[in-house]
Structure 1
Amino acid sequence: MSTLSSVNITILGSASAQPSSTRNHSALALRLDGDVWLFDCGEATQHQIQKSSVKIGKVQKIFITHTHGDHIFGLLPVLAMRLNGAGGTVDSEDPRATTAPSEDVPPLEIYGPLGTRAYVRTGLTYTHTLLGAPYVVHELRLPTDPADGDHTALPPHPHERPGRNILRAADGTWPAIFAGALVSVSAAPILHSVTCVGYVVAERPVPGKMDPARYLPDLKRTGTPMSAMRRLQQGESVALADGTVLRGPARKPGRKIVILGDTHDPSPIAGLAADACVLVHEATNAHLPGVDPDTKAGETYESVEARARSRGHSTPQMAGAFARRVRARKLVLNHFSARYAGNDDVDEEARRVMGAIRELAESTYGGEVVCARDLMSFDVGPRKE
């Protein structure tokens, strides 16, 4: 079994409800070797992709956390851009309007809560958008949702393939909504003002640490080809000519990346999120007296947290507490209020504000905290022994 050689996260948008000149609406690109998976598609995500090193043609899957506009308004433009969309021609019928793509063409996959399929179908239909390749929408259904059906009266778009309606398991999660050779994706509901989902991308167990000196004497003694070392590296057993059986090192857990949508309480995903290498958690509001000049008189940490919770959002301290609870190795804060500028790489005041936000999260967490900035990109290295 092969393993992932490269895992990279690129922040395409780190704003909350209102974008600013330094923060775009929510979107994140996860690059797994050559493939790109997007998590949320706020307005202008396609522009952010063009500004980044992410290649739109590599996008294979899109995961939507919830259907608030700041997380989904950019989905249709990304689809049209990725799938060679057009509006037809004047003098002749565009073949894309009547010809379905070959079944040999794999569809771009979209995952999201109830309403995602209706939103995409309605938007493409009423904007008369023709596509050059297929797509499919899989919906994560709650017990209170209809178990079947598309939740829209419109017929499928000509390039839409039938999607799955995925019901929750007995433990309240959606396990293995995607299961590939190298990674799987599971999900769970998280608490917000509307139905919202968090996603867990888990790499399959990877080969353990190999000590060739442990095996070489037996391989040489029995004349076993050195190619057996590759099998041992993968954790397999090798039977030698004299009956000796060599066993490779036990495989170890792979990387785990947890990407949450908006939430004031992500507790339902805590089990899936345990021991995450990276946890992406919102931190919409913060109390920064003496640092944020817009701090209102009479505000307290408690009042800011109460207001954030009432709107379904979190503070840095809340994000840090959850990161500590699930033993995350690294916490990435995102989804910031427009009052917190995202140009802290060049602006001293923004650097001071974001530094204070990071310290608030550190106060309840204790691990590494990063404040997301648009177009920030970083690799996720293998787990340490």
Structure 2
Amino acid sequence: MSAPQSLSSVNITILGSASAQPSSTRNHSSLALRLDGDVWLFDCGEATQHQLQKSTVKMGKIQKIFITHTHGDHIFGLLPVLASRLNGAGGMTDPAEDPRLQHAEQTRVTPLEIYGPAGTRAYVRNGLTYTHTILGAPYVVHELRFPSDLPDDDLTSMPLHASELATGRNIRQVDGIWVDIWANDLLAVSAAPIFHSVPCVGYVVTELPVPGKIEPAKYIPALKRTKTPISVMKLLQQGESVQLSDGTVLHGPERKPGRKLVILGDTYDSSPIADLAREADILVHEATNAHLPGVDPNTKDDDTYESVEARAKSRGHSTPQMAGAFGKNIGARKLLLNHFSARYPGNDDLDEEAKKIMQAIGTLAAGEFNGPVICARDLMSFDIEPRR
């Protein structure tokens, strides 16, 4: 059976949409990207595994985890998810009897891949080691190294964890970006730095060009004339060329651009990723703080749009207007706001006051953006449709 030429389903599910502190209606940051049967997580804040259990995302389908930065609200849930996903637990009284420690068995299993900035490998290795956690399957950590990072320093003297593969790469930038940190026949992932209070990464997931729409009437007369089986339409649909018995060559429709998803970490300035992110089908951008006079009862009397923006930037964060302006700059088709302050409720589907606040935040972004704006809510799920 030939490999699929395009993805049939691309879905985003929000597992957590809070910033520094979770609230009763928002969990810490995490987003699940479902690509047909596989699941990729972007960030993994505290209690992400609880959110997975509440969602329709299957834990066992997680293949990759991408960390934007190592602040706790984006990484504290990583070790519990690894333990749950990879059958982790404490050891047996006789370690020799624990099948999870048999390395020959682990080498036959595709490892779970983790990508993140320097420190991610040390955090995972030390955390698993000091909690005496044994995993039943392997993992590997690839680090996106900034120019200021030491090229081969793992930031820990701890030896490899029993389940950690030694094949983790230290990926260096090329012209300021990390190019194709992962790719196959359908997808490619690249990344670029974005400005925050600590080293932070934005990821761009690009679906490679997909088959164009076929027009059967263009081909059927020639197929009938040469008595060519209609089944060759499948080859034409994939953009291939077919030579008929009379020498005529039929060419399938030209391939068209695939979907592009831009998923950013915390930032007060996303400009370094702008070129890589252009024409995104969806931009996921933080909007931690907003000035909402007359809407948010917690609004300070002396606050202005300018003072709130200045305060957000000083802490490495953005306002909805900043997110909208960046989305417009890169020509994004849709904007998803997330990473909201704990003061902004996440139950706007049930509570009218919460709905007013989140609509006001969306309106601020829409004033700068030329397309639909969505405000993230925990466990929200929607598909990214193919380009027409």
Q: TM-score range by the shorter chain?
A: over 0.9
CA distance in 1, matches of 2:290, 2:32: 26
2:284 match: 280
Q: Find out whether 1:45 has 2:48 as its counterpart.
A: yes
CA distance in 2, matches of 1:32, 1:250: 24
1:317 touches 1:363 (CA, 8 Å); kept in 2? yes
CA distance in 2, matches of 1:90, 1:148: 36
CA distance in 2, matches of 1:74, 1:136: 17
Q: Find out whether 1:250 has 2:249 as its counterpart.
A: no
Q: Secondary structure at the match of 1:41?
A: coil
Instruction: Choose from 166, 169, 172 the match for 1:164.
Output: 169
CA distance in 2, matches of 1:269, 1:186: 10
Instruction: Choose from 298, 302, 308 the match for 2:302.
Output: 298
How is 1:333-348 mapped onto 2 (pairs within 5 angstroms)? 333-348=337-352
Percentage of matched positions with identical amino acids? 72
CA distance in 2, matches of 1:94, 1:293: 60
Instruction: Choose from 184, 188, 192 the match for 2:188.
Output: 184
1:64 match: 67
2:90 touches 2:132 (CA, 8 Å); kept in 1? yes
Instruction: Choose from 197, 207, 210 the match for 1:206.
Output: 210
Q: Secondary structure at the match of 2:189?
A: strand
Q: CA deviation at 1:366?
A: 2.5
1:284 touches 1:335 (CA, 8 Å); kept in 2? yes
Over residues 295-354 of structure 1, what are the superposed CA-to-partner deviations in whole Å (9 max), with x where a residue is unaligned? 101110000000001111000000000111111111000000000000000001000000
1:11 match: 14
Q: Secondary structure at the match of 1:353?
A: helix
Q: Find out whether 1:103 has 2:107 as its counterpart.
A: yes
Q: Find out whether 1:130 has 2:131 as its counterpart.
A: no
2:354 match: 350
Over residues 53-102 of structure 1, what are the superposed CA-to-partner deviations in whole Å (9 max), with x where a residue is unaligned? 01100000000000000000000000000000011133665525742243
1:327 match: 331
- Residue 324 of structure 2 aligns to which amino acid in structure 1? G
1:96 touches 1:130 (CA, 8 Å); kept in 2? no
CA distance in 2, matches of 1:17, 1:214: 57
CA distance in 1, matches of 2:157, 2:234: 55
CA distance in 2, matches of 1:341, 1:94: 50
Instruction: Choose from 80, 83, 100 the match for 1:80.
Output: 83
2:30 match: 27
1:88 touches 1:94 (CA, 8 Å); kept in 2? no
Over residues 135-171 of structure 1, what are the superposed CA-to-partner deviations in whole Å (9 max), with x where a residue is unaligned? 000000111111124221000001100201101112x
- Residue 386 of structure 2 aligns to which amino acid in structure 1? P
CA distance in 1, matches of 2:97, 2:162: 13
1:23 touches 1:341 (CA, 8 Å); kept in 2? yes
2:240 match: 236
Q: Secondary structure at the match of 1:306?
A: helix
TM-score (norm 2): 0.97
Q: Secondary structure at the match of 2:230?
A: coil
2:92 touches 2:98 (CA, 8 Å); kept in 1? no
- Does 310-319 or 178-187 show the bigger shift? 178-187
Runs of 4+ displaced beyond 6 Å: none
CA distance in 1, matches of 2:337, 2:49: 22
CA distance in 1, matches of 2:76, 2:190: 24
2:100 touches 2:137 (CA, 8 Å); kept in 1? no
Aligned CA-pair RMSD: 1.1
1:55 match: 58
TM-score (norm 1): 0.98
- Does 289-298 or 145-154 show the bigger shift? 145-154
Q: CA deviation at 1:103?
A: 1.6
2:116 match: 112
Q: 1:25 to 1:319 in 2, by over 3 A?
A: same
CA distance in 2, matches of 1:11, 1:144: 33
1:16 touches 1:335 (CA, 8 Å); kept in 2? yes
Q: 1:88 to 1:229 in 2, by over 3 A?
A: same
